[in-house]
Amino acid sequence: MPQINKRQRYEQLRKEFPFFIYESYEINVTDIGLEAIFHFNLADKFHFNPIFRIPVRDFYLPDRMNEIVTDVRFQNLIFHIGLVELISYWKVACPPTVIVKPHTLDKGQVDWWKEVYFQGLGEFFFLNSIETDLDSFMQIESVSGFQLSQFKIDLSDKLIIPVGGGKDSVVTLELLSRHFDSLTLILNPRGASILTAKQAGFPIDRVIEINRTIDPLLLELNKQDFLNGHTPFSALLAFQSLLASALTGYRHIALSNESSANEATIEDTEINHQYSKSIAFEADFRKYSAKYLSPDFNYFSFLRPLNELQIGRLFSQFPAYFRVFKSCNVGSKTDIWCGNCPKCLFAFIILSPFISNDIMKDIFGKDLFTDGSLWPYMRQLTGLDEVKPFECVGTVDEVNFALRMILEDRAGLQLPLLLQRYKEGSLIEAENNPLEQNLLNSFNDVHFLPVQFLSILKKAL
């Protein structure tokens, strides 16, 4: 579809599909485990039924698993997971009205969810040339007379660590699992996440496994002339992690989101590819969860005080994971580093100051600094272009800092193509010299770490 027609297509779809209904949800428990099914309705023309399943494990509390179908606390949690899942299906046509049937939402909830949708779809709106605002992009109506309320739940001082398979979750695992009775959580397990957990001492039977299935109809519509784009996946993980906490009785949920996730992807805007990993979302989610779910959960990001450089330095201390970790989205299905995307280049840059070039080439399959085709991504990552890659990458300052460290380490040596181009560029002139800031010694005080977790992190640094 030509870029100029995307806005017109957005308006056309909203007229053709004026409403979206969250019809209901089902909860089933069998000997195999827990299954939840959501029923969505796009203007009575398309019906979606996404599913998630949690295989049985011996660490789930038997009374909670047995009573989950009738327990209003779990109905509340699963209902909310459906509200997040809805985003992926709403976006195909962006209907102006969303009708929520299962339970009533009060005004505070409606306002909160509109904010999550609007901010979480900022990249989607930008790439689809959609100009809209928080008030007009969508209205939420709830038609049920049954409103779920805040609940109490007994939880112990134990820890859940979500694992994605990248360097960040490795650092959290290594620093925390030795201090706390812990379980890992993996949403849609893949090679890197499973192997990372196993390397840390968590075989699959000690993993909270959540298998999310997208309705095939959505994938079919994505191939047609409907709208598609990035959704706030980490918001789904947030609500799923609360369900895991309730099932296991483990109070603390330690994410691995860093301070770098707070930076906008597009300069001078609020558009952030990592919105649902940002401190803004974390703060809002904690407030919402305490008010409308339970104040007993403790959801926070353990690495929030740190930047990507500091995490890279910590990760370099755990060589057992070098062949295991992966965070390339392009290569996720085949569990490889593709070596040709901005995420791969960012990881190569941020780790190179702390890991030898020979080992880096072994990890990524080649020296990415020799690949001239990656120069456009280098421009984006270093701030030569106004728009950063729409990936989970660090800040412009962090990338420049890492590159200057690499150049200093290779002073007097022949430089590979990308480093030579960078050295000749304007970003290393004195007025833009990021080495004036000592990013390796920074510590962001805006976080939600409890004291016992904060002391562990500071000791590691």
pLDDT of 193-241, one tens digit each? 999 999 999 999 999 999 999 999 999 999 998 999 999 999 999 999 9
Residue 432 has pLDDT above 70, yes or no: no
Is 237 found in the same domain as 345?
A: no
Residue 455 lies in a domain: no
Instruction: Report whether 248 contacts 183 (CB < 8 A).
Output: yes
Are both 285 and 154 inside the same structural domain?
yes
Q: Are 302 and 449 in contact (CB under 8 A)?
A: yes
Does residue 354 share a domain with residue 257? Answer: no
Structural domains counted in the chain: 2
One domain, residues 228 and 131: yes
Residue 217 contacts by C-beta under 8 Å, 6 or more apart in sequence? 46, 47, 48
129 C-beta neighbours (distance < 10 Å), count? 14
Among 347, 349, 311, 314, CA closest to 329: 347
- Does 145 score more than 80 pLDDT? no
Q: Is 229 left (phi over 0), alpha (psi -120 to 50) or beta?
A: left
- Inside any domain, residue 461: no
Q: What is the pLDDT of residues 82-136, one digit of tens each?
A: 999 999 999 999 999 999 999 999 999 999 999 999 999 999 999 999 999 999 9
Looking at the structure, do residues 131 and 216 belong to the same domain, yes or no? yes
pLDDT of residue 434: 45
Q: In this predicted structure, which of 174-188, 260-274, 345-359 has the lowest mean pLDDT?
A: 260-274
How far is the C-alpha of 301 from the C-alpha of 422, rounded, in Å? 33
Q: Which of 301, 318, 352 is the last residue of a domain?
A: 301
| Closest of 203, 170, 207, 168 to residue 185, by C-alpha | 207
pLDDT tens digits, one per residue of 403-425: 999 999 999 999 999 999 999 87
Which strand (E) or helix (H) includes residue 67? helix 62-67
In a domain, 412, yes or no: yes
Are the beta carbons of 449 and 457 closer than 8 angstroms?
Answer: yes
- Separation between Cα atoms, residue 188 and residue 167, nearest integer Å: 18
Give percent of the chain with pLDDT exceeding 70: 97
Same domain, 283 and 336: no
Q: Is residue 317 part of a domain?
A: no
Residue 455 to residue 209: CA distance in whole angstroms: 30
Using pLDDT thresholds of 50, 70 and 90, give the confidence band for residue 384.
confident
Average pLDDT, the chain: 93
pTM: 0.94
Please say whether the beta carbons of 367 and 360 come within 8 A: yes
Residue-level pLDDT at 436: 53
What's the CA angle centered on 367, arms 363 and 369, to 5 degrees? Answer: 130
From 321, 160, 327, 336, select the one nearest 250 (Cα to Cα). Answer: 160
Helical pair 396-409 and 308-315, crossing angle rounded to 10 deg: 50
Res. 268: pLDDT tops 80 = no
Contact by Cβ (8 Å): 286, 448: yes
| One-letter identity of residue 17 | F
Q: Which two tokens stand for residue 222?
A: 């994505």
Which neighbouring-strand residues pair with 20? 42, 98
Structure tokens, 446: 């805006």
Helices 167-176/451-460 angle, 10° precision: 110
Inter-CA distances, 117 with 91, 121, 122, 232, 276, Å: 10, 6, 8, 8, 10
Task: Specify whether the CB–CB gap between 95 and 42 falls below 8 A.
Answer: yes
Rg (CA), the chain: 23
- What does residue 196 show for φ and ψ, rounded to 5 degrees? -65, -50
289 and 432 both lie in a single domain: no
Within a domain: residue 174? yes
285/276 Cα distance (integer angstroms): 9
Instruction: Determine phi and psi for 159, rounding to 5 degrees.
Output: -130, 135
CB neighbours (10 Å) of residue 243?
A: 24
CA-wise closest residue to 245 among 332, 141, 161: 161
- The reply to whether 241 and 338 lie within a common domain is no
Q: Summarize pLDDT for 2-51 with one digit per residue, the tens.
A: 444 788 999 999 999 999 999 999 999 999 999 999 999 999 999 999 99
Q: Are residues 290 and 337 in the same domain?
A: no
Q: CB within 8 A of 2, min separation 6: which ones?
A: none
Claim to verify: residue 291 and residue 338 sit in the same structural domain: no
What token pair was written down for 275?
A: 């919105």
Residue 87 forms part of a structural domain: yes
Q: What is the share, in percent, of the chain residues with pLDDT greater than 90?
A: 86
Asked if 324 contacts 164 with a C-beta cutoff of 8 angstroms, the reply is no
Q: Is residue 311 part of a domain?
A: no
Q: Are residues 264 and 338 in the same domain?
A: no
Alpha-carbon span 419 to 346, nearest angstrom: 13
Arithmetic mean of pLDDT, 183-200? 96
Question: Which contiguous run of DSSP H or E holds residue 140?
Answer: strand 139-142
The residue range of the domain holding 357 is: 330-441
- Assess if residue 459 is contained within a domain: no
- Classify 125 as helix, strand or coil: helix
Structure confidence at residue 1 (pLDDT): 40
Domain identity same for 269 and 143: yes
